């Protein structure tokens, strides 16, 4: 028996004590340890709060700032094109450095400090060339922040709790709304400079929280420690022993079912993995006795068939994993591995379509409110609150929604929400209604963004091989916030400047609907292809002689 070594409280990291304190507060009314519940971890929530407090207090107001210093809408569109493209190129570089050198914390702090310093400089300059350079440099630093926040969150959650991502991310939606509302209310009285001061302060607080709280320890470790009377260093070993005992118990139960049959045995060969790559595996032979009851035979056959179909799906969709023991992959090799996965390809395509449409709305809604609706600056901040209302709900209940509807339906919801949103803008502008009428329409933003981001982030994380999660998240972030957002900003500015806001929003509806049709057609083709492969494998297996029904 291993003797537990007591660890002094002073030796326990701050983030560890913080998580333990939150667990104790969360369970202060629990009568027994058996009723202990474990909330989603607090550390990712802190990171998301400061990250999106920075974002919410600056993002909606950058186009207003550019217009205030004398730029035309077409020029604003050109300027807003490049930061997303810079982020698309820079995010994988930061991710590669973080993964290769295991320097996630240092990169996170450096980029947080860099973006805070860059935007703070806008307090002192209104020269167009200098402003453009500062905005471009800020994009280099900002590109790493959200991917690192996402990958850090998934590491802390661990495989068992990864579906709790939405609850952590929903805090960012709250802080985004708080910051946008606060700054929108202060701009009219204090000027646009308040945007950059607020940003610098919140970026500094983010760096401080990262310095003391950043970690990669799964929350399951805290659950293990909470069951002990003292803090010990063998908590992970005890958790592993529990898992091994559970696996042994399951194997014994399976063997007991087989032994009940007695007499001779018939061997039913397990399905083999498609292909001969690194991930190919052979399932163990399954022994079935003639003495088994019919219900037991159905159970065993059902398990065997489920295993076979699961292996088929994994081989069709799964990216090849890097060979164990190899040095860290370069970014381009990692990207090649990730982009060989059809699920990742489809998510990236949809993120591009949605982000380009959302970019038009996000970049020009503030100017639309001021110029076309003739509304006050405070309405911009209030509109952001409406933006994140459903966003918070959809992120918080992300696990339930994904389990209930699935990724496919969530993506359809995202397409539908943005189409409804931009068509509503067009109608309100044509009818020349009050600017305050846009507030109910802003609820569509949260539905659209939360569904595509929750679905995309989960698919990327689930299908990225070990060691490439940060790279996968950076590609997803770079395409969404980079290529799609940049193209939307450019096209939106050109259309807005030439044809006006109404035509701009109607063009968004048309482009998103076209992307939706392409997505549905591709999904239908891939489904048919998968069914053909499954049917071919099932009908070509001569070993299985019993009738097997697939429900």
CA distance 260 to 484: 60
Q: Share the mean pLDDT of the chain.
A: 76
Question: What are the pLDDT digits (tens) for 123-159?
Answer: 999 899 999 999 999 999 999 998 899 889 988 888 8
Closest CA to 43 of 173, 139, 156: 156
Which tens digits make up the pLDDT trace of 419-471? 999 999 999 999 988 889 999 999 898 888 888 888 888 888 787 777 676 77
* b/e per residue 247-271 (b: at least 16 CB within 10 A): eeeeeeeeeeebeebeeeeeebebb
Do residues 399 and 528 share a domain?
yes
Report helix, strand or coil for 54: helix
Domain span at 259: 251-321
Asked if residue 541 is part of any domain, the answer here is no
| pLDDT of 488 higher than 80 | yes
Distance from chain centroid for Cα 50: 17
Cβ atoms of 463 and 318 within 8 Å: the answer is yes
| Count of all residues that appear for the chain in the document | 551
Question: Does residue 2 lie in a domain region?
Answer: no
Q: Which of 164-173, 204-213, 242-251, 473-482 has the lowest mean pLDDT?
A: 242-251
**Nearest residue to 57 via CA among 151, 182, 235:** 182
Q: Tell me which H or E stretch contains 288.
A: strand 286-288
299 shares its domain with 171: no
Structural domain includes residue 539 = no
Report the distance separating Cα 361 and Cα 359, nearest Å.
5
Determine the pLDDT at residue 72: 87
Which of the listed residues 321, 345, 378 is the one where a domain comes to its end? 321
Tell whether 546 is covered by a domain: no
Instruction: Give the distance from CA 384 to its chain's centroid.
Output: 21
State residue 305's pLDDT score: 46
| pLDDT-based confidence at residue 81 (cuts at 50, 70, 90) | confident
* Residues 209 and 265 both lie in one domain: no
- 270 & 374 share domain: no
Higher pLDDT, 248 or 75: 75
| 374 vs 108: which has the higher pLDDT | 108
For residue 370, what pLDDT is reported?
Answer: 85
Enter the tokens of residue 496.
Answer: 């807005």
Query: What is the per-residue pLDDT across 525-546, written as a single tens digit (0 to 9) for each?
Result: 888 887 777 777 777 655 444 4
**Most confidently modeled range among 34-48, 74-88, 494-508:** 494-508
182 domain residue, yes or no: yes
Residue 401 pLDDT level (bands cut at 50, 70, 90): confident
Percent with pLDDT over 70 in the chain: 71
Residue 237 falls inside a structural domain: no
Provide mean pLDDT across the span 405-419: 90
Q: Verify that 138 and 192 share a domain, yes or no.
A: yes
Model pLDDT, residue 11: 58
Query: Going along 20-122, which residue ranges are E strands?
Result: none
Q: pLDDT digits over 262-296, tens only? A: 433 333 333 333 333 333 333 333 333 333 343 33
Are residue 151 and residue 279 in the same domain, yes or no?
Answer: no
My answer on whether 98 and 170 are in the same domain is yes
Same structural domain, 399 and 487? yes
Cα 141 from Cα 112, distance rounded (Å): 7
Which range is most confident: 226-240, 276-290, 351-365? 351-365
Shared domain for 206 and 266, answered yes or no, is no
Statement to judge: residues 472 and 519 lie in one domain: yes
What share of the chain has pLDDT > 90, as a percent? Answer: 26
Q: Is residue 336 part of a domain?
A: yes
Q: Are residues 260 and 196 in the same domain?
A: no
What is the C-alpha separation between 168 and 202, in angstroms, rounded?
Answer: 19
- For the chain, what is the domain count? 3
Q: Does residue 239 sit within a domain?
A: no
Last residue of a domain, one of 321, 354, 370: 321
The CATH number of whichever domain residue 458 belongs to comes to 1.20.1250.20
Which has the higher per-residue pLDDT, 457 or 301? 457
Q: Answer whether 0.85 is exceeded by the pTM.
A: no
Cα–Cα distance, 54 to 248 (Å, whole number): 50
Q: Which of residues 282, 299, 321 is at a domain's end? A: 321
Residue 517 predicted with pLDDT over 60: yes
Residues 397 and 514 in one domain: yes
């Amino acid at each position: 028996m291993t003797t537990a070594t007591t660890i002094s409280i002073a030796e326990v990291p701050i983030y560890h004590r913080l998580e333990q304190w939150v667990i104790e507060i969360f369970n202060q009314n629990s009568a027994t340890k058996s009723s202990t519940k474990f909330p989603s971890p607090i550390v990712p929530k802190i990171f998301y709060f400061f990250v999106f407090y920075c974002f919410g207090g600056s993002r909606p107001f950058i186009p207003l700032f550019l217009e205030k210093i004398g730029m035309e809408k077409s020029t604003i569109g050109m300027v807003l094109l490049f930061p997303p493209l810079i982020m698309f190129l820079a995010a994988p570089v930061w991710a590669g450095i973080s993964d290769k050198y295991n320097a996630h914390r240092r990169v996170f702090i450096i980029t947080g400090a860099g973006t805070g310093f860059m935007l703070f400089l806008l307090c002192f300059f209104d020269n167009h060339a200098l402003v453009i350079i500062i905005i471009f440099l800020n994009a280099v630093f900002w590109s790493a922040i959200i991917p690192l926040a996402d990958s850090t969150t998934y590491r802390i959650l661990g495989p068992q709790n990864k579906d709790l991502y939405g609850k952590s991310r929903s805090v960012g939606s709250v802080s985004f709304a708080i910051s946008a509302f606060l700054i929108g209310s202060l701009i009219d009285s204090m000027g646009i400079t308040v945007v950059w001061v607020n940003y610098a302060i919140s970026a500094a607080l983010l760096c401080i929280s990262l310095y003391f709280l950043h970690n990669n320890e799964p929350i399951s470790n805290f659950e293990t420690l909470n069951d002990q009377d003292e803090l010990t260093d063998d908590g992970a070993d005890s958790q592993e022993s529990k898992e091994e005992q559970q696996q042994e118990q399951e194997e014994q139960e399976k063997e007991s079912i087989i032994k009940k049959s007695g007499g001779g045995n018939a061997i039913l060969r397990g399905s083999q993995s498609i292909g001969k790559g690194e991930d190919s595996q052979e399932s163990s032979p399954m022994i079935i006795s003639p003495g088994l009851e019919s219900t037991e035979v159905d159970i065993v056959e059902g398990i065997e068939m489920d295993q076979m179909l699961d292996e088929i799906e994994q081989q069709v969709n799964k990216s090849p994993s890097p060979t164990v023991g190899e040095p860290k992959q370069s970014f381009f090799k990692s990207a090649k591995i990730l982009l060989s996965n059809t699920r990742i390809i489809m998510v990236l395509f949809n993120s591009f379509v949605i982000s380009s449409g959302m970019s038009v709305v996000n970049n020009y809604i503030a100017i639309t409110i001021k110029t076309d609706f003739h509304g006050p600056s405070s309405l911009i901040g209030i509109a952001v609150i409406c933006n994140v209302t459903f966003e918070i709900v959809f992120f918080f209940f992300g696990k339930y929604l994904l389990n209930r509807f699935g990724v496919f339906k969530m993506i359809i919801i995202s397409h539908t929400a943005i189409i409804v949103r931009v068509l509503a803008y067009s109608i309100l502008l044509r009818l020349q209604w009050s600017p305050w009428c846009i507030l109910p329409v802003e609820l569509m933003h949260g539905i659209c963004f939360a569904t595509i981001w929750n679905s995309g982030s989960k698919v990327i994380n689930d299908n990225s091989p070990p060691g490439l999660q940060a790279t996968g998240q950076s590609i997803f972030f770079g395409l969404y916030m980079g290529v799609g957002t940049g193209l939307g900003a450019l096209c939106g500015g050109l259309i807005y400047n030439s044809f006006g806001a109404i035509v701009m929003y109607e063009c968004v509806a048309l482009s998103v609907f076209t992307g939706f049709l392409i997505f549905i057609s591709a999904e239908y083709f891939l489904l048919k292809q998968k069914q053909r492969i499954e049917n071919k494998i099932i009908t070509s297996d001569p070993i299985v002689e019993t009738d097997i029904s697939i429900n």
